[in-house]
Structure 1
């Protein structure tokens, strides 16, 4: 970094460099975690794949329902895949001065988009001193207990190696050079986050929020640019499947049910994982979301139990059915409460409990 054209003290510049290094690591870890789900030596080199981003609002659910009901099933299925549009790109989102609300269903690519912005910020050649902070609201529940801006930035995210007070004062004085990403936010129960979103703290900072449609009314205001993340277009689905499956992609592209599932990046990864794994020739590939999830659960249980044969795996599941169902019920309640933090687990079986770690790592954010 050439400090000759950057204005700011040494501690501030070095803190910016530290933040960029961490942003790069966060982004790399995200894609590596997805890549490592594939078995063998032919793991795809995954990175950000273009998403359809809509800044023009959305059609009301009632209109969609009436419109689709007149279609044949094949045409109806294809309406789920969004059309290519050039509304805005991650780099343009990074450049805009507006606060941004990224809205979309689970698994649609909101987190992937924020990681791409992290990567772009870490790699760009800044001609000004600026700071970017990323908070995964699902993985850092202790944010709710954070009492001050300093604790949020320096304890929860990253602490300066030197000149902490000097850096903090620069952030407060030049808040227009600060970008804050709150990924997977569901409420404003954190007083510090609430004050940042409502501009009581760092009034000129750029705030980027990702949330599901059910939660967006709590955050959307005239100061936010609403961007709906719609997933993969058909062209992007083909690009993604080509990278993950190669010639095997034709098995997915020729199946309309599977193809239309893949507009959701999370399901595209699940489908790619299913086809990349060795399966008996007489075993049909999943064609519904439910079947995909069942395959993933079986695969995770197979990993922890080390039962490679179908007969042995079925026997293991039958023997552990009570513990698995108890854990499933507990996980369902946590899902309803919009949390992935499972405490006071009802199951004490270490083998079944290890399924949690395996299954959490198997699913993309």
Structure 2
């Protein structure tokens, strides 16, 4: 409140400077209401002054002239005019606060704000079920009491805004100071400096916008569709006044929640100035709310309560909804049926009606609650209720890191490390490690393991080969960091923590079964709580349950860790037999279940199960399970059998990619050969992005096949730096690409790897943006492909005369039979 006082009690010269600075905004606003301006002029200006405007016929021009007169008028006239503007119009909040300070009564008012909160609450009773916005010309004049009440509302709102800023700086300010704030026991990068993520418009959204802009050139749309988005680009949408709904999609671990935290931190540092207040919520916590509540209760009881005049603050929020950002993180974690809230009944009217969390969320997205606000929602891809698609005004996808971002992150992570140069060199030179690091959460785990391994074995470092093996290495790293004395062997080390690991796995699996990521303290066994908190696998924080009450809660540091421990439970628990393992193999459930409501909660548990089924993990499983090698080997064999049954000729591209991930994690060449045979050694991919790790997994399966294979990509996005993985597969016979994304850069990168494909007989690069300049490196590569018989370059950007010259060059290739 002292801050507000200082702001209002400016000296006269400072006040005049502020008025001149903000006056153009006010003029722009009032130029839309010329009749009101002229009416006020007749009430407040002299007849002689009004005569100067008589010759102007256009109402807007006359209003602009009159406003200039008010600016030059006597102080009392100007102040009276400004008071009328502030009382009779809903100005933008910052403009309103500035001009309210012009009132001579403002100084007396500041000292009375807290004393009059009860009067404000009486004027805005919480029992009201309707809300009326102020309307221009609502009364002949403004009263002192009305003026004071409005100023009190502004002051209370500004005080609340400062509370939110302070809270967010305390909670998210760790990003500002980078690695120095990282606690010793934090396993993940929450204390590391934030590295910007690669964000692009989602493919579905681009298609929708392309249809909406049917008159534009197709190629122009494609050329700009993949441009990365800045953080500010997410909120640049739709006309003023309408609710804006922004959906931010991303796979688990790509940094959705981290980005939400960054948005809050940026706002608290006043970098997102279009928003006056930001309210972040996590669905993992909203899941715990069982009762119905009003919008005001959601904002104040489950986020942050104003310390004065909550009813006045809420009224202010309603009047200034266009400057409010509502954030809902993790829609995929929301267990309540949002579809029911969308279609079963009409939402009750009024902002104080008690509603379920789902109804509040839907009401905000549909603009029925807090109309005009911006709603940001994060979720996994394909987890968007169909009926909410109509409300979306922007849809983007987080891709995670690219090579440049991986190197930036690693530079930051190892900036003070004694083995910095060795670790960075190892990471940059190892394509498999880099491919894992394109997922930010996994990048952090890789860096943690590299740090420990280089400290322990500076000379000869044995690196894990799969994502699952890196998780095991991370687990071992943090156990060893907190051991009071070293164990005589690795087996003895695991044996020491057997019960804690089993308990943590049981907790994680129960969370997946019940579709939750947050656990009350009473749900976590004491032994598990002590072990997991010490090693940093669980984070503790306060969970708001009802007004004024909090309980201690725990959540896994990130969802991937919960999935890993769930898979560990399934393979080591004696309560899970072969039939149960088959039932809980989530990839099978994901493919067989059609209804979204029944879809498994997990995204990667089946990948970890496959990784744990590798021979390299057998001794680890024996120690955790406390069972013989034969017992564990039978459980692993069951997982391999399940994977074999999933391989059928009818698999589509995304399913092929998921299955290849599992095969790669299992590191089983026999399994890879079986999958290839079942797919008839033909891999077709349509219209989705292959991440570097997808390409590495696919290459593992292809290179394991005893027969030649065919690869067919249509409309797929892939990283150019990883096209070399196909060059390492000497058994590719047919290779086809069809996409407007395939241009000269793509051709240059691919041409470096074609000669190593010794079996290549058919090549197609059709429907692309290839020009004669891009074709030149391809031609040189073709000349070194001794088995090439068929080349298709149709529907690119090459002229007929250029193709004639190309045909002459191709004529020197003896085995070439067809050129299109």
- Tell me the TM-score range normalised by the shorter chain: 0.7 to 0.9
Using the TM superposition, give the Cα deviation of residue 116 of structure 1 relative to its aligned residue in structure 2, in angstroms. Answer: 2.0
Using the TM superposition, give the Cα deviation of residue 346 of structure 1 relative to its aligned residue in structure 2, in angstroms. Answer: 8.2
The residue number in structure 2 matching 1:78 is: none
Using the TM superposition, give the Cα deviation of residue 134 of structure 1 relative to its aligned residue in structure 2, in angstroms. Answer: 0.7
Using the TM superposition, give the Cα deviation of residue 139 of structure 1 relative to its aligned residue in structure 2, in angstroms. Answer: 4.2
The residue number in structure 1 matching 2:371 is: 203
Using the TM superposition, give the Cα deviation of residue 19 of structure 1 relative to its aligned residue in structure 2, in angstroms. Answer: 1.6
Correspondence 1:275 to 2:450: yes
Using the TM superposition, give the Cα deviation of residue 215 of structure 1 relative to its aligned residue in structure 2, in angstroms. Answer: 1.7
The question of whether the paired residues in 2 share the 8 Å contact of 1:38 and 1:276 is answered with: no
Change (3 A) 1:227 1:209: same
The residue number in structure 1 matching 2:516 is: 339
Correspondence 1:231 to 2:403: no
Q: Among residues 483, 486, 493, which one is paired with 1:309 in the alignment?
A: 486
Change (3 A) 1:13 1:324: same
Using the TM superposition, give the Cα deviation of residue 10 of structure 1 relative to its aligned residue in structure 2, in angstroms. Answer: 0.7
Alignment of 1:1-365 (within 5 A): 6=94, 7-8=96-97, 9-29=154-174, 36=182, 46-57=192-203, 86-96=227-237, 98-124=244-270, 130-139=276-285, 141-145=287-291, 147-186=293-332, 187=334, 189=336, 190=357, 191-217=359-385, 219-245=388-414, 246-247=420-421, 248-277=423-452, 278-281=455-458, 282=460, 284-303=462-481, 306-311=483-488, 314-342=491-519, 348=525, 350-357=526-533, 358-361=536-539, 363=557
- SS of 2:450's partner is helix
- SS of 1:142's partner is coil
Mapped to 2, the partners of 1:44 and 1:154 lie a distance apart of 27
The question of whether the paired residues in 2 share the 8 Å contact of 1:11 and 1:163 is answered with: yes
Using the TM superposition, give the Cα deviation of residue 156 of structure 1 relative to its aligned residue in structure 2, in angstroms. Answer: 1.0
Change (3 A) 1:154 1:342: closer
Change (3 A) 1:336 1:21: same
With a CA cutoff of 8 Å and minimum separation of 6, indicate the structure with the bigger relative contact order.
1
Change (3 A) 1:292 1:92: same
Q: Which stretch shifts more, 155-164 or 312-321?
A: 312-321
Change (3 A) 1:338 1:166: same
Change (3 A) 1:175 1:113: same
The residue number in structure 2 matching 1:75 is: none
TM-score using structure 2 length: 0.37
Structure 1 outlier segments of 4+, above 6 Å: 30-34, 125-129, 344-347
Using the TM superposition, give the Cα deviation of residue 172 of structure 1 relative to its aligned residue in structure 2, in angstroms. Answer: 1.6
The question of whether the paired residues in 2 share the 8 Å contact of 1:101 and 1:220 is answered with: no
Using the TM superposition, give the Cα deviation of residue 56 of structure 1 relative to its aligned residue in structure 2, in angstroms. Answer: 4.2
The question of whether the paired residues in 2 share the 8 Å contact of 1:183 and 1:210 is answered with: yes
Change (3 A) 1:347 1:321: farther
Count of residues in Structure 1 that have an aligned counterpart in Structure 2: 337
- SS of 1:342's partner is strand
The question of whether the paired residues in 1 share the 8 Å contact of 2:245 and 2:365 is answered with: no
- SS of 1:201's partner is coil
Q: Which stretch shifts more, 45-54 or 307-316?
A: 307-316
Q: Say which one has the larger Rg.
A: 2
Change (3 A) 1:16 1:185: same
Mapped to 1, the partners of 2:404 and 2:255 lie a distance apart of 16
The question of whether the paired residues in 2 share the 8 Å contact of 1:262 and 1:271 is answered with: yes
Q: What are the ranges of 5 or more consecutive residues in structure 1 without an aligned counterpart?
A: 60-83
Change (3 A) 1:273 1:37: farther
TM-score using structure 1 length: 0.79
Change (3 A) 1:344 1:50: closer
Change (3 A) 1:195 1:253: same
The question of whether the paired residues in 2 share the 8 Å contact of 1:184 and 1:210 is answered with: yes
Change (3 A) 1:223 1:214: closer
Change (3 A) 1:181 1:354: same
CA RMSD of aligned residues (A): 3.4
Using the TM superposition, give the Cα deviation of residue 100 of structure 1 relative to its aligned residue in structure 2, in angstroms. Answer: 0.8
Deviation string, structure 1 residues 253-286 (Cα, Å, up to 9, x no partner): 1111110000001011111111222333555232
- SS of 2:488's partner is helix
Mapped to 2, the partners of 1:333 and 1:129 lie a distance apart of 39
Using the TM superposition, give the Cα deviation of residue 13 of structure 1 relative to its aligned residue in structure 2, in angstroms. Answer: 1.3
Change (3 A) 1:295 1:280: same
Deviation string, structure 1 residues 115-174 (Cα, Å, up to 9, x no partner): 222122222278777211011222454345451111111111111121211110111222
The question of whether the paired residues in 2 share the 8 Å contact of 1:131 and 1:179 is answered with: yes
- SS of 2:248's partner is strand
